[in-house]
Chain A
Amino acid sequence: MVKFYSSNYTYDHDFGVVSLAVFLKYPNPYSSHVKSVDTVSRHIDSEGRLHTTRLLVKKGRLPKWATSFLGRINESYILEDSIVDKDNKVMQSWSRNLDHTKIMRVDEHVKYQGTNQGTTIAHTEVRILSQFSLIRDKIEAFGHKRFPENMLRSRKGMNYIMELITAGGFKLYRQTNSA
């Protein structure tokens, strides 16, 4: 089974702040399930676009009905690729879980587009695949319920980080060095 969800949201910050916030997003108070974020690779291509691959570890947050037959899943690995095209004010990210994929595989694509008005539009698409046809109704209901919740939490986290960035409260390199 395959399910799609999508969502649009406009951030009241310019592309620079939003794209930096994507890199700085964790930790934030709305995403305590994200345990770690590591950069696997990073390069700039011949067109000046920045490519980044990151590995995120999230605490398992499966619903009770799933743990009853899947056992307890403590954590999940997420791989995220992103490309920043600063000249066109576009950032795209693609992420997916690397383990437990037979139970449920979640692919997410987000496109951030900076506007001339100094805002940034985020378009999110999520695809959920599962090979467990017996529980597809439950997975669908789970996805329906969780998608808007996750979107809301994600935006709150992004806005929290953007407030820190614009208030100058983020420790950048010089400050961390002198500390």
Chain B
Amino acid sequence: MSASFAEECTELKKKYDGCFNNWYSEKFLKGLSMENECADEWSEYEACFKNALRQKGLMPMLEDAREDAPFEDGGRLKGDK
């Protein structure tokens, strides 16, 4: 599994990824669970990751990106035929 961009979050990320991958393949795809069951792993990882984003000053770039929507028309790239 891949590393987190913030080294200190990599272990938490791998724990979350492991939980998610298992839930995704064993439950979600089989229609057994429509609820993400990795909430504990997620909140630990998210807190670490968001904190690192703030410390590295990357929050504004990410927030700007959320407002910018390059993929209109049901997901086709703008200007595409």
A contact set with B: CB distance below 8 Å: 2, 4, 16, 19-20, 23-24, 26-27, 34-40, 42-44, 48, 50, 55, 57, 77, 79, 81, 84, 86, 92, 94, 96, 98-99, 107, 109, 111, 125, 127, 170-174, 176-177
Cross-chain contact B18 with A38 (CB below 8 angstroms):
no
Report chain A residues within 8 Å CB of B78. Answer: 127
Given A48-B34, A172-B22, is A109 in contact with B75 using a C-beta cutoff of 8 Å?
Answer: yes
Q: Contact between A86 and B29 (Cβ–Cβ < 8 Å)?
A: yes
B51 at the interface (CB under 8 A from A): no
- A94: contacting residue among B2, B6, B71, B80, CB under 8 A: B71
B29: shortest Cβ distance to chain A, in Å?
5
- The contact of A172 among B18, B31, B62, B77, by CB within 8 Å, is B18
- Asked if B22 contacts A50 (CB within 8 A), the reply is no
Q: Mark B41-65, 1 if CB is under 8 A from A, else 0.
A: 0100100010000000010011011
Q: Which residues of A contact B35 (CB under 8 A)?
A: 44
| Contact residues in B for A99 (Cβ distance below 8 Å) | 61
A35-B5, A36-B4, A40-B62 as given contacts; A176 in contact with B75, CB under 8 Å: no
